[in-house]
Structure 1
Amino acid sequence: MKRLKSSALWFFASLLTLLAGPLLLAASGALHGAESWQSARRDSANIAPTPEQAPEAIVQVYGARAWSWRGYFAVHTWIATKEAGASHYLVHEVTGWRRAVVRSRIAAPDTYWFGAEPTLYADLRGDQAARLIPHIYDAIAAYPYPDEYRAWPGPNSNTFTAWVIREVPGLDVALPNHAIGKDYLGDRIAAPVPGGLGYQLSLGGYLGVLAGVREGIELNVLGLSLGINPRALGIKLPGIGELALLNPNPMPEGGSP
């Protein structure tokens, strides 16, 4: 009986630890936005340079809090590309309300995600970006779940972003721990981390562990991840994300996350 009580206490303590971040966000009301998705902001946050300001090739990775209550747990991520001399950006992402979930469209790269302000995770420019863009297009075309979407544990928008990053050599970008779905590997159990140097193990996105130079160390339980990132001098908390002093991802000279 004592062992049973001890096991029950351990289980509920672990569950409370995982849910503490999302519950705190929900209680604070910090993520409350528009009452409906129709009226939520979708304009540019003016983070990215315009094509006129930066004629060079650009590859950027963004994320923003998911819509409604999902934002207490996770972010939605996407990739933006602009070829050298192009007059527009292309935004590449997965959404769950279309039969063909993958879409690449002409759009501002840094729009609010239904009221949630975007965060720039990585920014590559010039010759490096120009070399990566054709491979990004190839990876998007080869995405293995073009007609499949599950918000949890995946495949979802973050699965897509992580897939493209893994498939493109040189596009080494660590996604935040609260990008739920990034650890969904399908039928695979092991894969390289998106950040480049490192590896991860995952059982269907429900349980896993990750270790990488850019990502640090993460433990994934039921899609919620926690860990530490020595390179960024940060800690990773479920729902809240990474609280770090540095950005481990590539940014332009003088840029900031």
Structure 2
Amino acid sequence: MTQFSANLGFLWQELSLPDAIRAAKAAGFDAVECHWPYDTPAEVTKAALAETGLRMLGINTVRGAAGENGLSALPGRAADARAAIDQALAYAAQIGAGAVHVMAGFSAGEEARKIFCENLAYAASAAAPLGITILIEPLNRHDAPGYFLQTTDQAAAIIAEVGAPNLKLMFDCYHIGRTEGDITTRFAALRGIVGHVQFAGVPTRGRPDQGELNYAMIFAQITGSGWSAPLGAEYKPDGPTGDSLGWMQALSQG
């Protein structure tokens, strides 16, 4: 059966992080993940994870100032980017999270690519002794115009250039579906560098049983490839999160 992780950046946003972890457990999720947990002391988050028996799969580096959406591909901001990486790795290590998504930010050009690769090499080196995976995620041009990392081909080339075994691709079916499509073929081609999978309905980013993607087929292909880690539900409920979870039972059968 397919396992699922609740992305608490979108689900149960009205709750504190510890209470959202508890809600995810009560709803039957197998794990959790979030965006920016830093307002909650790590020991409080760790206690809620221990109480529920859930694992935090991953967290993000901070977005920086308004309009930056990440720091690691911004020329002239290497010190800030590495401070954000250090912060995320320290928090992840304390709560036992398995991955850190290093956010690139809004930028473009060769200098941005160069500094992004340098910061990713730094992150991967710092994360390796902690057993933490570094993730990078292409964001679609409709939701995040101007974001440095926009396609899976671009991400794959950067991962190959950095050459760190713990640097992986965040394969977000929603973002890829919005601009690249052909989800199952792309997943098969990229399977060796995928570190985490996320999903939402396309094109609205709503629940996964609504929209143009056949997630029953997609999940069956992903699990058929030998993927056993929980898939991240990163969608926007159109009401209370608990009322949006009717998809879970049907889509867990793959």
TM range (shorter): 0.3 to 0.5
TM-score under structure 1 length normalisation: 0.32
Greater helix proportion: 2
Greater strand proportion: 1
TM-score under structure 2 length normalisation: 0.32
- Structure number with greater Rg is 1
Higher-RCO chain (CA-CA 8 Å, sequence separation at least 6): 2
